[in-house]
Structure formats: C-alpha cells, structure tokens
Amino acid sequence: MSDLLEIKNVTKIFPLGGIIRKKYVTAVENVSLKIPEDKQVIITLAGESGSGKTTIANMVMGFIKPTSGEILFRGKNIWKMSKKERKRYRKEVQAVFQDPFESLNPFYKIRYVLMGPIKKLKLANSQSEADKLAREALLDVNLDPDEVLDKYPHQLSGGQRQRVMLARVFLIKPKLLIADEPVSMIDVSLRADILKIIHNLEKEYKMSCLYITHDLSTAFSISNFIMILYLGSVTEEGDFETVVKDPKHPYVRMLINSIPLPNPRSRWKGRVKLQDIEIARLEKISGCKFHNRCPEAMPICSKEVPPLIDLNEHHKVACHLYTTT
C-alpha cells in the first residue's frame, strides 16, 4: 500500500536576486518524510525560524513547487495530478495556519464560512440539515453556535477564530491536516484546548496531522514522531519520546536540554539567535551546517555532510559523531 503522503528527497532553492551575480538560498535540502495511510499519526516538524519547516508545509499544500524531489499523495506526484485528482487532494489535505484572521474573509459571517464546504462538498440535503452540521462542528470545537454563527471574524478572539477554522476541518474531514504554528498567536491559557481539539481530530476522525512548530513544548501532549530541522536539513528524527528522552545530535541536545525539567511543558527557550540563522542561510556552508557552533565539531565536520543514519528502527541522526564510530 502507498503511503498517504511521501515527501521524497525534497529540496527548495529560492533565488534572491542580485544584478551581477544572482544569489540563492537553500530553504530545504533533501528532506524525506512518510505519513502512512493505515495508521493515524501526529508528526511534529520542529525548528527555529528559517529552518525550512514552513517551506515544507507550503510545498505539501502545493503552493510552491520543489526545486527537486517529489511530494507524493498515495503514490502520485501532486504536480502531475489531473484536475480531478488535484480537487480531491485539496479536500483530503487541509491546513490551519498561524493567523486564522488571514484565512477568514472579514466580510463574511461565520455561518457563511461553514456553509461554504457544506454546499461545495454536498454534505447536506436541506438548509436545516446544513444548519445542524454547522452547529455540530462548532460544538465539536467547544464554541457556542448561537454566540458565533452570526458574527464576523473581527468580532471573535484569536482562539475563537482558530476554533472556527478547526470546525471547518471537522466538516471537511480530510485525511491529513497541516497545522502550521496553529497556537503561536493564541493566548497561552487557550493553547492546550486547541491542541486537544487537534488530538481529537486524529482519534475520532482518523486524521493524521503534520504539526509545525518552533515551540517544542507545545508538541509534547500530541506527537508520535518528530523531525527537527536546522537550516533546511534534518538533524534528527524518530519516535517522539525516544528523541526527546535521548537526543543525539548536539543541536537537538541543546534545544531539548533547554526545556527545564521536570516540567517539559514549559516553553522552549534555547533558541539560536535568529540573526545568526539568517546569516548562515545566505552562506554556503560546507560539511555539517552546524559545525561553526557545534561544541563537539571534529575536522571531518567542516568537510563532509553527515548522512542521516539509523541508530535503530525508531531513531535517525545526521551527525559524524555516529558515523565515525
């Protein structure tokens, strides 16, 4: 059986302009990831700003085309789909973004936002059935239909708007949800509720989720698997608990160790300075991209790119510490 989604050796290079010598930035480099068809998973794609995680989300959504590699949905390259296949893909893969306000038309009431997919996907045979579905979807995300249906987006809080977007997902019931920083603009006290709703989507509606975050502490309660990116490359990936309990890559160790224990739900504070990352993105770094700041760097690290190797069935790392032993 094909996987539901496969990101296969994907690289994305953006041109940066430049009149005499054109410059390029590699946002994503040789990233591969599989989401199975027969098992529901919540996969966390984590990294600092500039790590390439949102570029990956945009490629999965079909907003931008990979420079090389493929995004396959049930074995079919999404850029080679027929119109009919693409329409189905758009239904089966839905997204919620950081700022729900941007996804909602300010001139439409919430009722209209929810009626859109009900009508388009012919989910109801009558207006009263459509109303019932919209109400149920709002109740599923802990919103009072009487309170929100006739309001405009600007009359709702950020948390309520994100819930409306999730109610829309409940109606469409995609196979895969791309959740790109869905709680980063929401009040800390409401984040757990939104994450719980995403978790329920996985359990009740058998939906997988690609959860994209710069804040590792929000992934603890929901993830099965984690992939951590640094400057567009995978540093470490595997079973969530295995990686978090026993991180191997020096960068990942630094990030995870910076979450104060015993309360792993605290915010992830060990950030590499964004300015450093921006500079590093524009430079062509030979060997391991982390070698300039790695406390364990060896001579080989500035010369050769470390391959992603299997430590065991559930854990992979890209670091010469594990290739030279």
Smallest distance, ligand SF4 to C-beta of residue 317, A: 8
Cβ proximity to ligand SF4: between 124 and 300 the closer is: 300
- Residue 250 is a binding residue for ligand SF4 (CB under 6 A): yes
For residues 145 and 306, which CB has a smaller minimum distance to ligand SF4 in the complex?
306
Of residues 238 and 306, the one with the C-beta less far from ligand SF4: 306
Strand 308-312, strand 76-77: pairing:
unpaired
Indicate the residue among 97 and 290 with the shorter CB distance to ligand SF4.
290
Strand 225-230 vs strand 42-46: parallel, antiparallel, or unpaired? parallel
User: Binding segment for ligand SF4 among 115-123, 135-143, 167-175, 295-303 (CB under 6 A)?
Assistant: 295-303
Q: Which is nearer to ligand SF4, 96 or 288 (CB)?
A: 288
**Residue 167, helix vs strand vs coil:** helix
Q: How far is CA 304 from CA 92, 103, 323, in A?
A: 40, 43, 11
Residue 320 binding ligand SF4, by CB under 6 A: yes
Q: Specify the residue, 66 or 306, whose C-beta has the smaller distance to ligand SF4.
A: 306
Q: Which of 229, 246, 185 is nearest to 44 (CA)?
A: 229
Nearer Cβ to ligand SF4, position 141 or 319?
319
Interaction of residue 231 with ligand SF4, rule CB under 6 A: no
165 binds ligand SF4 (CB under 6 A): no
The CB-of-232 to ligand SF4 minimum distance in angstroms stands at: 15
Cβ atoms of 60 and 178 within 8 Å: the answer is yes
Taking alpha carbons only, the member of 160, 35, 60 closest to residue 104 is 160
Subset of residues 22 to 61 that bind ligand SF4, contact rule: CB under 6 A: none
Residue 232 in contact with ligand SF4, rule: CB under 6 A: no
Q: How far apart, in whole angstroms, are the C-alpha atoms of residue 178 and residue 60?
A: 8
Taking CB under 6 A as the criterion, which residues in 298-317 touch ligand SF4? 298, 301, 306
- Whether omega for the bond prior to residue 264 falls within 30 degrees of 0, making it cis, is no
Mapping DSSP to helix (H, G, I), strand (E, B) and coil, where does residue 104 land? Answer: coil
Tell me how far, at minimum, the Cβ of 302 lies from ligand SF4, in Å.
Answer: 8
Helix (H) or strand (E) holding 116: helix 110-120
- Mind giving me the DSSP string for 39-83? S--EEEEE--TTSSHHHHHHHHTTSS--SEEEEEETTEEGGG--H
Angstrom distances, CA of residue 109 to CA of 87, 105, 144, 208, 209 = 25, 8, 15, 29, 28
Binding to ligand SF4 by residue 291, rule CB under 6 A?
yes
Q: How far is the CB of 267 from ligand SF4 (least distance, A)?
A: 24
Query: Among the candidate windows 54-62, 114-122, 273-281, 287-295, which touches ligand SF4 by CB under 6 A?
Result: 287-295
Q: Which is nearer to ligand SF4, 265 or 303 (CB)?
A: 303
Contacts of 122 (CB under 8 A, 6+ apart): none
CB of 15 to ligand SF4, least distance (A): 28
Window 123 to 162, contacts with ligand SF4 (CB under 6 A): none
Q: What is the closest distance, in whole angstroms, from the C-beta atom of residue 152 to ligand SF4 in the complex?
A: 50
CA–CA gap between residue 263 and residue 106 (Å, rounded): 39
Interacting residues with ligand SF4 (CB under 6 A): 249-250, 288, 290-291, 294, 296-298, 301, 306, 319-321
